[in-house]
Amino acid sequence: MPLRRSLKLLSLLLIKLLCLTSFQMSHAKEPRSDDLLYAELRANWVDIFPSGNRNAGGAVFFKYILDNYKDYREFLTMNRFYCPVSGSFVPPEAEPEFVYANDSKTGKPTCGSLYRCCWPCACDIMRMAEVKKIPFEFKNDVVELHALVIDNPCVKNTFPKEVLRNDFCEGEQINGDRVYSFNNMIVVGLLHDGFQCTLEQVAWIGLHRITGGQCSLRNTTPMDKLEAGMGDIFLKLAK
């Protein structure tokens, strides 16, 4: 009799547990759509760039997203919606460019997807940015990501006048309130789905119409001869 009663009690407890789990799953937070996240980022533009100057603003976008989005999926998604080079918005339907940039530690090429506003920005990333694997903490985990980085521009006398220096610098130090730095390098964005390239993949990028043909011409042109707007400003910042 005690055994039967115990089994009955255990069955009731299991039923309650199943009901509670089912309730929690049905009321779990639904992932927000790309369109909703993109609209939210656009709505916060004034908070991100209170001066109105977003030239070379990828680093400022990255820091804002890192500070305000601790859900890993939302963080990755938000980092598709701006150009690391120009600071322009990139719409949710945009297709990325397959590019590579050299690893800051090993010098080996790292391939991945770059979300950018226009084709010259892909060239500028390959020319001037490096990739650094950096651990970032989210709600449920610490994840190592392939960050696009540039050297500290605050120590140079050639800081571009088109860029708001206060967004990047406090004297010769990096302004950690406005941009994210790691080992004295500024993160300007992410290289999505990054991995170490094979020689064949580097060759494919070099033969592509944009990352090969057009970028070859752009990236062998002296910087003072370039005339392509926002990308030229980034090159001045990163050189």
3-state secondary structure 180-192: CEECCEEEEEECE
Position 193, amino acid: D
Confidence of residue 26 (pLDDT cuts 50, 70, 90): very low
- The tokens describing 140, both together, are 């449920």
Q: Which residues contact 3 (CB under 8 A, 6 or more apart)?
A: none
Q: Which residues contact 99 (CB under 8 A, 6 or more apart)?
A: 111, 112, 113, 114, 122, 125, 126, 191, 205, 211
Confidence of residue 108 (pLDDT cuts 50, 70, 90): very high
- State residue 221's pLDDT score: 87
Q: State yes or no: pLDDT of 86 exceeds 80.
A: yes
Q: How far is CA 76 from CA 44, 81, 136, in A?
A: 17, 10, 11
The average pLDDT across 154-160 equals 91
Domain boundaries, the chain: 34-238
Question: Quick count: other Cβ atoms within 10 Å of Cβ 132?
Answer: 20
Confidence of residue 184 (pLDDT cuts 50, 70, 90): very high
Query: Contact, 100 vs 126, CB < 8 A?
Result: yes
- State residue 22's pLDDT score: 43
The model carries a pTM of 0.86
Query: Contact, 111 vs 201, CB < 8 A?
Result: yes
The average pLDDT across 92-108 equals 97
Please choose, from the candidates 80, 114, 119, the residue with its C-alpha nearest in 3D space to the C-alpha of residue 97: 114
Question: Quick count: other Cβ atoms within 10 Å of Cβ 210?
Answer: 16
The average pLDDT across 133-138 equals 97
